[in-house]
Amino acid sequence: MSNLTSIIKAFLDAENKRDWQTWSSFLHPDIEYKLIGSEKIIKGKEAYIRHMQEVYSELSDWYFNIVHLLFKESTVMVEFNGRGHFTGMYQDKKYAKIPLHLSAVCIFVIKDNLIITIQEYWDKTGFEKQLKK
């Protein structure tokens, strides 16, 4: 296992545990997060921390498993499967405890042993279908 995969595994483990202090220690101050398929781009460590804490306020029991993890040079790609319940607003409608099972892929770029870029590809269609059940 490379140093890069160790960094990402420790980062993701901290996220699953909601250990925001450890989790944030892996982030570069100039991190950029892009949610592919949307217009969402978040720049800067503090803004990304706030964003993720807001996400988990709506998915308080969310937990994910790593399906695949690949690396090359300064880049790590991870495929996830996640489960939990969504409580929050989506497209002007309020939802409470909707069970979700979603897949996603994230591409992490590491600089100076810190995550500087995250591109997330998530199953928006699957998310919306599960809200309608």
Domain boundaries, the chain: 3-132
| Residue 57 · residue 77 · CB < 8 Å | no
Q: What amino acid is encoded at 119 in this protein? A: Q
How confident is the model at residue 39, as a pLDDT?
A: 87
Rounded Cα distance between 44 and 52, Å, is 12
pLDDT of residue 16: 96
Which residues does residue 77 pair with via DSSP β-bridges, in sequence order?
Answer: 70, 107
Evaluate if residue 133 carries a pLDDT over 80.
no
Please provide the CATH number assigned to the domain covering 3-132. 3.10.450.50
3-state secondary structure labels for all residues of 75-111:
EEEEEEEEEEEEEEEECCEEEEEEEEEEEEEEEEEEE
- Pair of tokens at residue 47: 């803004």
Q: pLDDT tens digit string along 68-87? A: 999 999 999 999 999 999 99
DSSP state of 102: E
Q: What is the pLDDT of residue 126?
A: 92
Nearest-CA neighbor of 82 among 97, 65, 96, 58? 65
4-60 pLDDT, tens digit each: 999 999 999 999 999 999 999 999 999 999 999 888 999 999 999 999 999 999 999
Torsion of CA 81, 46, 39, 89, to 10 degrees: 70
Helix (H) or strand (E) run with residue 55 in it? helix 45-58
- The phi, psi pair for 9, rounded to 5°, reads -60, -40
Per-residue model confidence (pLDDT) at position 60: 93
